[in-house]
Amino acid sequence: MVPMLQRIKVIDSHTGGEPTRIIVSGGPDLGGGTLVEQVAVFRDRFDGIRSAVVNEPRGSEVWVGGLLIQSKDPACTTDIIFFNNAGYLGMCGHGTIGLMATLRHLGIVEDGIHRIGTPVGVVTARFTDNRRVAVENVASYRFRSDVTIDVPDYGRVIGDIAWGGNWFFLVKNSQEELCVSNAGHLTNVTQRIMKTLQSEGIGGSDGPIDHVELFTRPLNPDNHSRNFVLCPGGAYDRSPCGTGTSAKLACLAADGVLAPGEVWRQEGILGTVFSGSFRNDEESESIIPTIEGEAYICGEAELILDSEDPFRMGITS
């Protein structure tokens, strides 16, 4: 029998070191439901495609993928569903910056404000410079402050729980050294924090915590803080994390430490920076964060899924 080859065209970029792989053609048709319903179809019927795109042998646990979907809202440039090795993301800040670079690379967008539909709401994005993109994220807020947990064989950890398009536990009392050479230890520590949160049933207002964030002083004194972010699939974010920075801004706003319009420069584990600021949401107690960073296109490829390849849907264990 002749093997069947499924072809999926992707464009790769990285935002502050964190990669994004956008499916631009050959992806699954998720039907005409809402984006939340389309995520359910993706998960139930096409989860193998998610895995094929981001997992080995074509990717690794670091990758965030995105499926471009034509929006039903004429005011939106596109809709997007982000995903990774573990499942689906509500929003992705670095991914949206990478998406804009991809859309410009394809000649689909120019300067101006672009509305982008995500499963957790519409965000807007615009180029502020050749490769720099500012993303106005979904409304973000601190849900709980000073949550104390005892992590077995580690100690007492105190943190805030905040929404920035995903749910974050933002550790306030970390003494860890946040550098790449320490990434293995940091991953281990944040995974144990995550496990303790899960075993104690601690989550966000409408879902489990999916990211854990540590902070320390920045290496570059021009910045305000340095972070390490554990993502749901066990990889750490190479960038300062757009939704994580949004969650941080929500906490800073709630503490009265940062005023609307003031800039917060969040340094990530590689030293790359997202500039963040916020305005108050007129309709709620939340803030509307804006995150700015830069992305580079780093690949253009056709993925081939060979019906005879035992790993055509990615290596999952």
Residues taking part in catalysis: 92, 241
- Output 94 or 312, the one with its CB closest to ligand PYC: 94
243 binds ligand PYC (CB under 6 A): yes
Minimum CB separation from ligand PYC for residue 242, in Å? 3
18 binds ligand PYC (CB under 6 A): yes
247 binds ligand PYC (CB under 6 A): no
Q: Which two tokens stand for residue 292?
A: 């700015």
66 binds ligand PYC (CB under 6 A): no
Q: Which two tokens stand for residue 202?
A: 């601690």
Interacting residue with ligand PYC among 53, 92, 120, 138 (CB under 6 A): 92
How does strand 287-306 pair with strand 132-136?
antiparallel
Helix (H, G, I), strand (E, B) or coil at 284: coil
13 binds ligand PYC (CB under 6 A): no
* Binding to ligand PYC, residues 71-90 (CB under 6 A): 89
252 binds ligand PYC (CB under 6 A): no
What is the pattern of x (binds ligand PYC, CB under 6 A) and - over residues 167-196?
Answer: ------------------------------
Interacting residue with ligand PYC among 27, 28, 242, 276 (CB under 6 A): 242
Q: Between 47-54 and 35-45, two packed helices, what is the crossing angle to 10 degrees?
A: 80
Give the Cα separation of 61 and 85 in Å (integer). Answer: 5
Stretch of 103-111, 200-208, 237-245, 279-287 lying at the interface with ligand PYC (CB under 6 A) = 237-245
| Beta pairing partners, 224 | none
Nearest C-alpha neighbor of 286 from the set 163, 140, 143, 165: 140
Give the Cα separation of 121 and 246 in Å (integer). Answer: 14
Minimum CB separation from ligand PYC for residue 295, in Å? 11
Nearest C-alpha neighbor of 25 from the set 53, 44, 4, 3: 53
- Would the CA dihedral through 187, 143, 283, 255 be positive or negative? negative
| Beta pairing partners, 147 | 159
Give the Cα separation of 234 and 232 in Å (integer). Answer: 6
How does strand 211-216 pair with strand 167-171?
parallel
Interacting residue with ligand PYC among 66, 93, 117, 218 (CB under 6 A): 93
Number of residues that bind ligand PYC (CB under 6 A): 12
123 binds ligand PYC (CB under 6 A): no
Stretch of 73-81, 235-243, 280-288, 306-314 lying at the interface with ligand PYC (CB under 6 A) = 235-243
Give the Cα separation of 302 and 48 in Å (integer). Answer: 17
Minimum CB separation from ligand PYC for residue 97, in Å? 8
294 binds ligand PYC (CB under 6 A): no
Q: Answer yes or no: are the C-beta atoms of 154 and 192 closer than 8 Å.
A: yes
64 binds ligand PYC (CB under 6 A): yes
- Output 162 or 231, the one with its CB closest to ligand PYC: 231
249 binds ligand PYC (CB under 6 A): no
Give the Cα separation of 40 and 146 in Å (integer). Answer: 34
233 binds ligand PYC (CB under 6 A): no
- Footprint of ligand PYC on this chain (CB under 6 A)? 18, 64, 89, 92-94, 231, 237, 239, 241-243
